Amino acid sequence: MQSLALIENWPVPTAAAAVVRADGTVAGTHGPTERSFALASVTKPLAAYAVLVAYEEGAIELDEPAGPEGATVRHLLAHTSGLAFDEHEVVAAPGTRRLYSNAGFEVLGEHIAKATEIPFADYLRQAVLEPLGMSSTYLDGGASPAKDGVSTVDDLVRFAAEVQLPRLLDPRTVAAAMSVTYPGLKGVLPGYGHQNPNDWGLGFEIRDGKSPHWTGSSSSPRTFGHFGQAGTFLWIDPDAGAACVALADRAFGPWAVEVWPPFTDAVLAEL
């Protein structure tokens, strides 16, 4: 895909990208797709997938108590537990606001580790990474399941293919993860300001009508995924029947706000 070559113009030392279709075929790649990059918050969809495996295995229930009083696993996955961004401090009642929370995903990791008696990093590896052949992806023991993952474009292509055509999870579970959970809640999308509503699924951010946004102007409202402060993103557009992964080694900033949307629009136009 010629559109992927646009990463050559990004003001970053190194970038790599790929597109994978809903049937699992790779439509194109560009750059060092085997290189390891820090994922930052693109770690969250991987962690969420592991939580959903734990749910399907019967280790947890989505509506069981977890985190602050009155909160559940579902609240934590959907950033509605009331926990603050980076502090284990309650700043709202569960289910009332969309408060994007790294702390919430750290609580999730602790909850899964306790329920399964397996450290979360090990559970993620056993439940998701190894079955998908993501041998270059890891979360160090004790690292944050919110933001400390490391991976490659090649590995994330495998994950994006799985989400589009699930093997590890029941497709109905994945459909729930990409559907709005607790609709109508306002909140801040980091880097893009207040959104009303700030829709989210179970570990995946949902585009809907958000503006401004890190995906493209031609991205469908059903597009879901995540971006990270390390200059990384993964989106899946069910209407386009494809997913795109892009990893870079420059922290998110105005450069990303400028180049990511036209890049996505170029990719979608070529599909």
Nearest-10 crossing angle of helices 43-56, 102-116: 30
Q: Report the percentage of the chain scoring pLDDT > 90.
A: 99
pLDDT value at 1 more than 90 = yes
Give CA 259 to chain center in angstroms: 20
Q: Report the percentage of the chain scoring pLDDT > 70.
A: 100
All domains of the chain in start order, with CATH: 2-270 (3.40.710.10)
pLDDT value at 38 more than 90 = yes
CA torsion 92-94-97-103 (nearest 10°) is 70
Given this model, what pLDDT does residue 141 score? 84
| Averaged pLDDT, 13-32 | 98
Q: Name the token pair of 260.
A: 């990511």
| Averaged pLDDT, 187-192 | 94
pLDDT value at 142 more than 90 = no
| Averaged pLDDT, 144-161 | 98
Given this model, what pLDDT does residue 155 score? 98
The string of pLDDT tens digits covering residues 77-95 is 999 999 999 999 999 999 9
Write the CB contacts of 79 (distance below 8 Å, at least 6 apart in sequence): 98, 99, 100, 101, 104, 187, 200
Q: Where are the beta strands (DSSP E) in 221-268?
A: 224-228, 232-237, 242-248
Return d(Cα 119, Cα 110) in angstroms, integer.
8
Return the number of other C-beta atoms located less than 10 Å from residue 9's C-beta.
10
pLDDT confidence band for 214 (50 / 70 / 90): very high
Given this model, what pLDDT does residue 230 score? 97
List the Cα angle 148/181/134 in 5-degree steps: 35
